[in-house]
Structure 1
Amino acid sequence: MMQHFVRPDGTPPVNGYSHAVAFTGTMVAVSGQVPVDAHGRVVGAGDTADQVRQVFANLVTALEAAGAAMDHVVKLTVFLTNLDDLDTFRQVRDEYLDTARPPACSLVKVAGLVHPAFRVEIDALAVLPAGA
């Protein structure tokens, strides 16, 4: 069970996230995913959209391993090295999420990530569907 509170009365406008998500069930925590493919190669050096797509592809793979999917994500934490990448991040994010029922989300601008070519890292919390 998931209930999305996209914009409760008295909260500021949102852009692709819910202010709160209530849920019951088994929680799945997904470690921060970076723009690296299954062979350990950096994807999209210098191309934010390619990097965000790889990060979401990695999130999908990790979630599937745990019996979950992107529709089960209740919270994302996004780390960007450059806030100029925010619009690109949002466009790609919306390819992977149900924009009518978006997860809660935190965005953090960071000075750098573990590899200098990484522009984005995302971790997630999801809830397994009933009976999973």
Structure 2
Amino acid sequence: MKVHFSKDAPKPIGPYSHAIQSGNLLYCSGQTPIKPESMKIEVTDVKGQTHRAIKNLQTVLQEAGLALNHVIKVNVFLTDMENFSGMNEVYALCFGEHLPARSTVAVKGLPYDALVEIECIAEFKNNVE
């Protein structure tokens, strides 16, 4: 097992790692739309927040040598399912033709009153542990 931490992603706001590699899988902790430099959410709409959350997730993946096209499973958490279509629009743009398995659920609340949080599991092509 290997811990991954990206200095360019938002600092964890709790006792957890950005990602854990086990075998050929990378389990990424949920990313919210916190801007790493300010540690604040600077956009208020779900499209902007989704873009920032995915950008933060990409930063964590890149630290491990991976990209969005290595993602095999995504979990999206929304505070309001009314935001599903806006999130989905940005998600589709970011992932393009790569369509990992995905679950989207509504939650009562997220840290810093974020509208969206996104976590994923990615796969290394070769077992690199």
Given the two structures, how large is their TM-score scaled by the length of structure 1? 0.74
Unaligned runs of 5+ in 2: 1-22
Unaligned runs of 5+ in 1: 1-24
CA offsets, 1:39-60, max 9 Å, x none?
A: 2121312x11110000000011
Indicate the residue corresponding to 2:106 in structure 1: 109
After TM superposition, the structure 1 = structure 2 runs for residues 27-106 of structure 1, keeping only pairs within 5 Å, are 27-39=25-37, 40-45=39-44, 47-99=45-97, 101-106=98-103
Percent identity between the two aligned chains: 31
Indicate the residue corresponding to 1:130 in structure 2: 126
Whether contact under 8 Å (2:24, 2:127) holds in the other structure is no
SS at match of 2:82: helix
Displacement over 2 Å in runs of 4+ = 129-132
Whether contact under 8 Å (1:68, 1:129) holds in the other structure is no
Q: Larger Rg: 1 or 2?
A: 1
